Amino acid sequence: MNSTFRSQFIPQLSRYLGRGIEVITDNSYYDGVLVEVGRDFIELAETVPGYETQTRRSIVPIDAINYVRVPTLTA
């Protein structure tokens, strides 16, 4: 990832802390609340449906992210 893009992307992601986002990588789809933005990763709290609803924490490397959607801004 281009260092200039990264230096702008991380602060932009930080604006969405506490909001629901969708993240697409080459191999995965994540849908959850953005709880942390680090220098090299983001962390999402995803709700796992089932008999007893659980929350799963997912860590996604910044370099693996292909697409981010903030549904509350596009709805």
Q: What residues does each domain of the chain span?
A: 3-74
User: Using CA atoms, how far apart are residues 23 and 17, in angstroms rounded to an integer?
Assistant: 14
For 23, what's the count of Cα atoms within 13 Å in the CB-facing half-sphere?
24
pLDDT per residue over 4-61, tens digit each?
888 899 999 999 999 999 999 999 999 999 999 999 999 999 988 878 788 999 999 9
**CATH of region 3-74:** 2.30.30.100
HEC profile of the chain? CCHHHHHHHHHHHHCCCCCEEEEECCCCEEEEEEEEECCCEEEEEEEECCCCCEEEEEEEEHHHCCEEECHHHHC
Please say whether the beta carbons of 71 and 19 come within 8 A: no
* 44-53 per-position pLDDT tens digit: 999 888 787 8
